[in-house]
Amino acid sequence: MPILKADTTPFDGQRPGTSGLREKVKIFQQPHYLENFVQSIFDTQQELAGGTLVVGGDGRYYNREAIQIILRMAAANGVAHAIVGQGGLLSTPAVSCVIRKYKTQGGIVLSASHNPGRPDEDFGIKFNTANGGPAPEAVTEAIYQRTTEISNYQTLEAADIDLDQTGQSQLGGMQIEIIDPVTDYAELMQRLFDFDGIRNLFKSNTFSMRFDAMHAITGPYATHILEDMLSAPSGTVINGKPLPDFGGGHPDPNLVHAHELVSMTQGHNGVDFAAASDGDGDRNMILGRDFFVTPSDSLAIIVANAHLIPGYQKHKIDGAARSMPTSQAVDRVANRLGIECFETPTGWKFFGNLLDAGRITFCGEESFGTGSNHVREKDGLWAVLFWLNLLAVKQQSVATIVQEHWREYGRNYYTRYDYEAVNKEAAADLMQHLRNKLDSLPGTQIQGHVIEYADDFSYTDPIDNSYSECQGVRIGFIGGSRIIYRLSGTGTEGATLRVYLEAFEPDPNKQQQTTANVMAPLVSIAQELAQITQKTGREQPTVIT
Domain 185-409: which CATH number of 3.40.120.10, 3.40.50.170, 3.40.50.2300, 3.10.20.30: 3.40.120.10
Strand order, beta sheet including 237-238 = 237-238, 209-212, 273-277, 284-288, 291-293
Query: Mean pLDDT over all residues of the chain?
Result: 95
| 388-447 pLDDT per residue, tens | 999 999 999 999 999 999 999 999 999 999 999 899 999 999 999 999 999 999 999 999
CATH domain 411-544 topology: TATA-Binding Protein (3.30.310)
Residue 514: count other Cβ atoms within 10 Å of its Cβ: 9
Q: What is the mean pLDDT of residues 45-52?
A: 98
Residues 159, 165, 168, CA angle at the centre, nearest 5°?
75
Per-residue model confidence as pLDDT tens digits over 67-87: 999 999 999 999 999 999 999
Report DSSP letters for 209-274, one per residue.
EEEE-TTSTHHHHHIIIIIIIS-PPTTSEES-S--TTGGGS----STTTTHHHHHHT-STT--SEE
The predicted model gives 351-367 an average pLDDT of: 95
Q: Report the pLDDT value the prediction gives residue 17, as an integer from 0 to 100.
A: 81
Residues 530-537 have a mean pLDDT of 94
pLDDT digits (tens, 9 = 90+) for 331-350: 999 999 999 999 999 988 89
How many other C-beta atoms are found inside a 10 Å radius of the C-beta of residue 302?
25
Q: What pLDDT, on a 0 to 100 scale, did the predictor assign at position 490?
A: 57
84, 179 Cβ separation under 8 angstroms: yes
From the candidates 91, 113, 208, 481, give the one annotated as an active-site residue: 113
Q: Give the separation between CA 117 and CA 381, rounded to whole angstroms.
A: 21
E-state strands within 94-186: 107-110, 122-128, 152-156, 167-171, 174-179
Looking at residue 489, its pLDDT comes to: 60
CA neighbor of 251 nearest in space, from 291, 280, 222: 280
CATH 3.40.120.10 domain span(s) along the chain: 3-180, 185-409
User: What average pLDDT does the segment 134-148 reach?
Assistant: 94
Q: How confident is the model at residue 492 (pLDDT cuts 50, 70, 90)?
A: low
Q: What is the pLDDT of residue 137?
A: 87
Q: How confident is the model at residue 278 (pLDDT cuts 50, 70, 90)?
A: very high
Q: Estimate to the nearest angstrom the gap between the alpha carbon of 4 and the chain centroid.
A: 37
For 307, residues 6+ apart whose C-beta sits below 8 A from its C-beta are 313
Active site (annotated) includes residue 113 = yes
Q: Is the dihedral of CA 269, 272, 276, 281 positive or negative?
A: negative
pLDDT attached to residue 292: 96
Give, for 275, the enclosing helix (H) or strand (E). strand 273-277
Vertex 413: Cα angle to 453 and 360 (nearest 5): 75
Q: Where in the chain is the domain with CATH 3.30.310.50?
A: 411-544
* Contact indicator for 47, 105 with CB cutoff of 8 Å: yes
The average pLDDT across 184-212 equals: 97
- Burial code (b: 16+ CB inside 10 Å, e: under 16) for 475-513 equals bbbeeebbbbbbbbbbbbeebbbbbbbbbbbeeeeeeee
- Do the strands 319-323 and 362-365 form a parallel or antiparallel pair, or are they unpaired? parallel
Q: How far is CA 460 from CA 133, 143, 339, in A?
A: 19, 22, 19
| Cα-Cα end-to-end distance for the chain | 53
CA-angle at 194, arms to 191 and 196, nearest 5°: 115
Phi-psi label, residue 179: left if phi above 0, alpha if psi -120 to 50, beta otherwise: beta
Pair 111, 282: CB distance under 8 Å: no
CA angle 264, 269, 273 (to 5 degrees): 55
Q: Which residues, other chains included, contact 96 with Cβ-Cβ below 8 Å and sequence gap of 6+?
A: 107, 128, 132, 133, 375, 376, 377
pLDDT at 21: 96
Give the percent of the chain with pLDDT over 90.
Answer: 93
Top-tier CATH class for 3-180: alpha beta
Q: Is the pLDDT of residue 458 over 80?
A: yes
Using DSSP bridges, classify how beta strands 152-156 and 167-171 pair: parallel, antiparallel or unpaired.
Answer: unpaired
Residue 330 CB contacts under 8 Å (≥ 6 apart), including other chains:
296, 299, 300, 303, 320, 322, 341, 362, 364
Overall residue count recorded for the chain in this entry = 545
Q: Which of 52, 391, 377, 403 is nearest to 208 (CA)?
A: 391
Q: How far apart are CA 388 and CA 288, in angstroms?
A: 11
pLDDT band at 1 (very low <50, low <70, confident <90, very high): confident
Q: Residues 283-339: pLDDT tens digits? A: 999 999 999 999 999 999 999 999 999 999 977 899 999 999 999 999 999 999 999
| Predicted structure pTM score | 0.94
Q: What is the mean pLDDT of residues 121-144?
A: 95
Instruction: Evaluate if residue 62 carries a pLDDT over 80.
Output: yes
Beta bridge partners, 413, equal 503
